[in-house]
A and B are shown apart, each in its own frame.
Chain A
Amino acid sequence: EDQVTQSPEALRLQEGESSSLNCSYTVSGLRGLFWYRQDPGKGPEFLFTLYSAGEEKEKERLKATLTKKESFLHITAPKPEDSATYLCAVQKTGANNLFFGTGTRLTVIP
């Protein structure tokens, strides 16, 4: 059965305290793994797509990595404006839709 599990459910960090969010997946035939950011009352906002194990992508304080079983979203020296829910989703080969995890709610305290 296809599954996407994100951990932790919630994470509180002090400003400047680096950490990582985890997304583990079980899917038959991965086409791509997507990271989104969601602010309260808003829709998910695209961050990264990863396609193959070993791939890494960076954007400002965020870096996403992918292995055959999981992806990590590393946050370096976070700021309060990085507070949001981070969603991981997978797309199966031959499919159009995304299959989402339940997200990690990140709070960065000044």
Chain B
Amino acid sequence: ETGVTQTPRHLVMGMTNKKSLKCEQHLGHNAMYWYKQSAKKPLELMFVYNFKEQTENNSVPSRFSPECPNSSHLFLHLHTLQPEDSALYLCASSQVDRQYNEQFFGPGTRLTVL
């Protein structure tokens, strides 16, 4: 595997379900990100982890719970979601201790909440 991978690619869940999204980066980076992209809207930054520590939570509801066990893996735990949470969830990684740090994105998980 190369780059940034995300599983599953598609997920349909009910409002009472609990599910998790997984992201893995194979680039040796030290920062990872979760973004949300709703239909016809720009990407919204949700969470940032630098060196496994959460450094940004962009006022995300508590029904989204991130977990970063190491610098290569990032999870987004989902529970009691609402239909308006249906979106494309994107993971990215970067190397933050460089002068410039382009982010590399995974293919995303298309989430549908019924």
Do the two shown chains form a genuine complex with each other? no
Q: What is A's interface to B at a CB cutoff of 8 Å?
A: none
